[in-house]
Chain A
Amino acid sequence: MLLGRTANGLYWMNRYIERAENMARLVDAGLRMALTSTQGAAEEWASVVISAGSDVAYGQKYQEHSAANVSDFLLRDTSNPSSVMASIETARFNARMVRTALTRETWESINEAWMSLKRMLAKPIDERELPAVLDAIKRETALIRGAFYGTMLRNEIFDFSNLGTYVERADNTARILDVKYYVLLPSISWVGSSLDNYQWESILRSVSAHRSYRWVYEAEYKPTNIADYLILNARMPRSLTFCYRFVLEHLEFLARDYGARHTCHATAESIHAMLKVGSIKDIFDAGLHEFLGNFIRENTRLGDEIALDYRFH
């Protein structure tokens, strides 16, 4: 038996841990692009802010997109609710609220991540320290995940936690693709290499897939392959299909445990069906941007339905 409020806390705790990690990865990709870009780095940083879904809030605070401003806003700034620091704070707040549902190891890993990142992000980050800070963030979230997977009982607590992780991750991957879809669009504009390889690589890098891509596809970056990898590949842990395989699995466990199916089950199935199209070509033909926009909306709807069906509030 689980309180609705506890299910809510677990769900958001994991969404925010996932968000913190994704944010670090986005900044990492931005940093890499800025370093390799032959043109001004400002555009790259602007695209990082858009990918993070924080462009409106950023615009209210800064005019220029510099490495210092963007990394400060996305990593340290607690007035930005999606910054790494704010995400870890929220994750820990939720973990504290659901303390009794977590193993000691899981709670301590979150508490320690919070303590160490609070210390590390207390002062503006020296640009030279940025790679080390990003590594530390990824390490802390990896430790949380390790403790979580290594010690938690596979019950409803685990299900609600992972629903948070995968709904957040799917949202994240879809947004990155959507922001960059013009890079992937196979149109006249890109033929003739007006867009360099590093643009494509940056997409993969922001989901930590730039190396594994080469294990799966040929060495060359091809827009259709990149989209296929991030949307349809069932083995790529950040692809939409992968996320929904687990969303469905956890919802199925809940349905079995509780002996009840809800609206969210139907919605998750319909989203999963969306992802079972023949090939990536069909998605491109119908319009990648439309597809992703629709996916993001449906994914958000699923989150709302889970909250309603399982009495989060």
Chain B
Amino acid sequence: MAAFDEMLPESSGPRRPYTAYDRWLKEQDPARLTQKTQDAERVFRKTGITFAVYGEQEASERLIPFDIVPRIISGQEWRRLTQGIEQRVQALNAFLDDIYHRQEILRAGRVPKDLIAANEAFLPEMIGVRPPAGVYTHIIGVDIVRTGENDFFVLEDNARTPSGVSYMLENRETMMQLFPELFQKIKVRPVENYPALLRRSLAAVKPESAPGTPTIAVLTPGSYNSAYFEHAFLADQMGVQLVEGQDLRVVDGHIAMRTTEGYKQIDVLYRRVDDAFLDPLTFRPDSALGVPGIMDVYRAGNITIANAPGTGIADDKAIYSYMPEIVEFYTGRKAILGNIPTWRCSEPDSLKYVLEHIAELVVKEVHGSGGYGMLVGPAASKKECEAFAEKLKAKPSNYIAQPTLALSTCPILTEKGLAPRHVDLRPYVLVSDRIQIVPGGLTRVALKEGSLVVNSSQGGGTKDTWVLDD
């Protein structure tokens, strides 16, 4: 299975978006590039850009490896992508509003009822609740893969609390420090206004009753969380408070934070805490990460929670397979960005097919994330496939399966020079009274030769993503 290389397709020179970069690269001393890679690592370690790996007690803080070869997207490619993403994000919000209100799409029979009712990500507490400004999912990370010159597919919609945007920003910052001359030669669209856009976007969806300049805060589970660096980074860049559940309580029907001068009202909460932990009075009673009573404040319209509780129903992997129908249902047009063909194992015919072809497929848990609980058939041993098949048979509805795609590759710098590695792309989308997409995103790269798993928790790295101003 030959993969499409975005920089150097076989038999010809570099693809157009890469021509200027390729020319520059050829002039570089390889030793200098190796040195720059080490410089980058030192920068990351010094600034404390680390992530925690679950299940590893000791090395609790690790760096995500960074590769210095940028992933480059032309302006034209980007325009097409953003059209597709905008359409999809509109549909996601419309779907959420519908699902928690009239459920037209279920009545129309386009999405099966029991897929919603029996879904853990569906929150009955949200039925009939309309969030401030009518926005459910404010910050979305759409995972996109490419298989050819014009073939882009959505792999996953992250509509809950997508992470990684700090890497997009720090990767660019690092690249500009390492190679200032490159950015003079090549016009790359900037991404550094993301925090400002995020802040404006959050302010625009404040509760109606909130003051003109609302008080915004980022809610983190705390410094032990794997994405804590990002939470602190975003709060810092936006110039808002970084709060934990222990700082918050309900005061006079509003959410308030404990400051050195007493409790101060918060109007918009960008929460990086999962639904289940948000309110011990409504969801998990053992949660110490949330705020007791916040759901009552929310239902009364006195706080904006971004993203809204219950948005998980839109990015659930079982729902994912219905996205083409969902997009068409709400936007009246065919989806610009396609889905990857998906077998729903809950359907007997599909299950049968998946079991027969398990060695060729990627099988995922419906609720899993981070590359955990999945099987990459072609990379797995016979024994692993058999063991997974047993799990699949025990609870088919818990799984979906997709063909193993020939993900595009982009070169990374190895000890032996450039070598192609599979990549994906996560652009970040902000929804308020408008939809904004920062030109760029997080490119994740599988560092192991031939590997298709790009997750940082499973040995993936990142690259700076350039959208050309052409």
Contacts and interface: CB of A to CB of B under 8 A. Distances in A.
Contacts of B261: 1, 258, 260
B32 interface: no
Contacts of B228: 96
Size category of the B interface is 20 to 34
A107 B49 CA distance: 12
14 contacts: A1-B241, A2-B260, A3-B243, A3-B259, A5-B244, A5-B247, A7-B260, A93-B223, A99-B232, A104-B47, A108-B46, A111-B47, A156-B260, A258-B260
Q: Indicate the member of B46, B241, B260 with the most A CB atoms within 10 Å.
A: B260
Contacts of A160: 260
A100 interface: yes
Q: Indicate the member of A4, A112, A115 with the most B CB atoms within 10 Å.
A: A4
B223 A96 contact: yes
B259 A100 contact: no
A96 B258 contact: no
Contacts of A96: 48, 223, 228, 232
A310 B260 contact: yes
B361 to A, nearest CB: 42
A265 to B, nearest CB: 14
A7 B257 CA distance: 13
Nearest to B262: A311
Given A3-B241, A5-B247, A111 B260 contact: no
Contacts of B68: none
Contacts of B232: 96, 99-100
Given A1-B259, A311-B262, A111 B247 contact: no
A112 B46 contact: yes
Q: Which label, helix, strand, loop or mixed, suits the secondary structure of the A interface?
A: helix
B77 interface: no
Size category of the A interface is 20 to 34
A104 B222 CA distance: 20
Interface of B: 45-48, 222-223, 228, 232, 235-236, 241-244, 246-247, 257-262, 264
Contact of A4 (B46, B242, B259): B259
A122 interface: no
A175 to B, nearest CB: 29
A273 interface: no
A100 B232 CA distance: 6
A96 B246 CA distance: 17
B247 A4 contact: yes
Contacts of B247: 3-5
A156 B262 CA distance: 15
A164 B322 CA distance: 57
A57 interface: no
A5 B235 contact: no
B237 to A, nearest CB: 9
Sorted nearest first, the 7 A-B pairs with minimum C-beta distance are A99-B232, A310-B260, A100-B236, A4-B258, A111-B48, A2-B260, A96-B223
Contacts of A108: 46-48
Given A96-B228, A99-B236, A4 B260 contact: yes
A7 B241 CA distance: 13
A254 B264 CA distance: 18
Contact of A3 (B45, B222, B258): B258
Contacts of A68: none
A2 B48 contact: no
A97 B235 CA distance: 12
Contact of A100 (B45, B48, B235, B262): B235
Interface in A186-245: none
Interface string A299-311: 0000000000011
A7 B242 CA distance: 13
B106 to A, nearest CB: 43
Q: Indicate the member of A5, A108, A111 with the most B CB atoms within 10 Å.
A: A5
Contacts of A254: 260
B263 to A, nearest CB: 9
A306 B25 CA distance: 58
B266 to A, nearest CB: 11
Contacts of B235: 100
Interface in A57-110: 93, 96-97, 99-100, 104, 107-108
Given A3-B247, A115-B45, 10 more contacts: A1-B259, A2-B260, A3-B257, A4-B247, A96-B228, A99-B232, A99-B242, A111-B46, A111-B48, A160-B260
Contacts of A311: 258-260, 262
A313 to B, nearest CB: 9
Nearest to A115: B45
A260 B259 CA distance: 14
A275 to B, nearest CB: 27
A108 B241 CA distance: 20
Contacts of B223: 93, 96-97
B343 to A, nearest CB: 44
Q: Indicate the member of B46, B241, B244, B261 with the most A CB atoms within 10 Å.
A: B261
Q: Indicate the member of A1, A108, A160, A258 with the most B CB atoms within 10 Å.
A: A1
B168 to A, nearest CB: 19
B353 to A, nearest CB: 49
